[in-house]
Amino acid sequence: MHAKLIVKNVGVLLVSEVLTNILSFILIFAIARQLGDVGLGKYSFAISFATIFIIFSELGTLTFLIKETSAGNPKTQSYIENIASMKLVLGIITFVLSILSVWVMGGNRESIYLVTLASAAMFFNYYSYLFRAIFQAYQVMEYDALTKLIEKLISVGLGIIVIILGFGIEFLLGIQIISFLVVLIISWIIVTKKIGRINFKFDFIIWKEILISSLPFCIITACVYIYYKSDTVMLTFLRGYSEVGLYNAGYKIIESASFIQTIVITAVFPAFSKLFSLKKNKHLDLLFEKSFYYLFCLGVAMTIGGLILSKRIIFFIYGPAFEPAVPAFQVMLVTLLIMLITYLMGYFFNAINRSYVFAFVVFTALFFNISINFFAIKAFGYMGASFVRLFTELLAFILFAYFMWRIGKLIPFQLVLRPILAVCVMAACIYFAYFLNLLILIPLAAISYAISLFLFGGFDKTELEILKELVMKWTK
């Protein structure tokens, strides 16, 4: 039952993420082509700076909510209603702090204006995460998928019109404010009709309980988001918008590709928590192994295929003017494979009530990243930031592997042989078909990889039966 529900949720999220990432790419394509590396740099800086502050409106409460709801905690409704009020208060505070901070740091009028608009957009976006967490906790991922798709259709559709008409980043951020507000309202309506009415509650005893229980998740969430966004902010102040644009050209692709990680973790984390609460350790270990295997399968294919086609991908999306972004993109592709596995291990520790391990690892990684990045960016610019991110992910992977060993669990490296053999076949296919159009070559490479993995015995009988049953159900 768990397997079918997980595969169903993965399928729903996969379709949603593919569509939303395609739409996101269209918007990034339009920004880069129409506004150049400086325009992309301004957009990336405003979103990154706003995100670093607005994440503190969550304080890890949503991960706590998903975990407790999945485990069947009877206080779920009380948690939801108190988190709703808590996020509103904290969201307003962090919105004001983000604007004050960019002013104190010496930002000019344009950067303050951009950060103000981006902070407003992120306020509505991150408040809607409460409803996404509820969808995930109750494992009704189709509503999560629907709301994300609606947001992208609005923001990308209207955003492209704004760019084509010659308006700047300010109007684009204004469109995002509208799209996130619309999705927030829709999400609230769906939760009210399908799950239950949410009232604002200010029970400070419950607030205290939630905040104490969420503290490890708070550290994790804050460190993760600061880690992912701080390099863009540091690049802006140390090297300027142009290098931010070149760095984010590759990073936006990696960010979109990492949706695989989001899909799998979103689907398996509630199952991890439930299996642990039921003390079904063998099933829990099996689910971790399967998750590791499929993340590695997808990650190694994207990394190797991306490395071979990196220059063509950058040229296709951004144009020849972004050629300096290729080396940084190649470094990030290697980082992607490591990142997929480290996040799985982190959320595994969250599910088994060892969130302090995840918190320690991400805090250590963040400290390492910021400490080294300051010097690396000053000396080597966006290439320095790219290598620091790679070394940070390696450090996180080593730490997680050590803690896995400490609890008697080993990373199942014995499972990687078949994907490696299959990716070699895929690489050969890309080499001999390199002359083809990229839109034909990438699907061809993916098909060759899937067939090779199947022929090498990369799918077992149970997985194939579940997949067949779901395909038949969806095509009725």
Helix (H) or strand (E) holding 149: helix 141-164
Q: Which residues contact 465 (CB under 8 A, 6 or more apart)?
A: none
Provide the angle, in degrees to the nearest 10, between the axes of the packed helices 326-351 and 355-406: 90
Task: Identify whether the C-beta of residue 427 lies closer than 8 Å to the C-beta of residue 304.
Answer: yes
Dihedral sign from CA coordinates of 441, 446, 449, 452: negative
Task: Identify whether the C-beta of residue 60 lies closer than 8 Å to the C-beta of residue 220.
Answer: yes
DSSP notation for 268-309: HHHHHHHHHHTT-HHHHHHHHHHHHHHHHHHHHHHHHHHHHH
pLDDT digits (tens, 9 = 90+) for 55-74: 777 777 887 787 777 666 67
- HSE toward the beta carbon, residue 358, CA cutoff 13 A: 27
In 382-421, where do the E strands start and end?
none
Task: Identify whether the C-beta of residue 362 lies closer than 8 Å to the C-beta of residue 399.
Answer: no
- HSE toward the beta carbon, residue 334, CA cutoff 13 A: 12
Task: Identify whether the C-beta of residue 194 lies closer than 8 Å to the C-beta of residue 143.
Answer: yes
CA atoms of 101 and 112, how far apart (whole Å): 9
| Amino acid sitting at position 76 | T
CA atoms of 70 and 273, how far apart (whole Å): 7
CA atoms of 10 and 188, how far apart (whole Å): 23
Q: Which two tokens stand for residue 429?
A: 């296919």
pLDDT digits (tens, 9 = 90+) for 305-351: 999 999 999 998 888 888 999 999 999 999 999 988 888 888 888 77
Q: Which two tokens stand for residue 166?
A: 């010659």
Distance of CA 381 to the CA centre of its chain: 24
CA atoms of 338 and 396, how far apart (whole Å): 9
| Amino acid sitting at position 268 | V
Task: Identify whether the C-beta of residue 364 lies closer than 8 Å to the C-beta of residue 283.
Answer: no
Dihedral sign from CA coordinates of 429, 430, 432, 433: positive
Is the overall model pTM greater than 0.85, yes or no?
A: no
| Amino acid sitting at position 303 | T
Task: Identify whether the C-beta of residue 34 lies closer than 8 Å to the C-beta of residue 82.
Answer: no
CA atoms of 128 and 134, how far apart (whole Å): 10
Nearest CA-CA partner of 243 in 324, 326, 310: 324
**Phi-psi category of residue 381: left, alpha or beta, with phi > 0 → left and psi -120 to 50 → alpha:** left
Nearest CA-CA partner of 227 in 392, 348, 346, 355: 392
Residue with tokens 């939630």: 210
CA atoms of 261 and 281, how far apart (whole Å): 23
CA atoms of 257 and 271, how far apart (whole Å): 24
Q: Which residues contact 366 (CB under 8 A, 6 or more apart)?
A: 223, 226, 227, 230
CA atoms of 59 and 218, how far apart (whole Å): 4
pLDDT < 50: residue spans in the chain: 1, 466-467, 469-476
Task: Identify whether the C-beta of residue 185 lies closer than 8 Å to the C-beta of residue 55.
Answer: no
Q: Identify the pLDDT of residue 335.
A: 93
Residue with tokens 């709801």: 69
Return the number of other C-beta atoms located less than 10 Å from residue 71's C-beta. Answer: 16
pLDDT digits (tens, 9 = 90+) for 193-206: 887 788 888 888 88
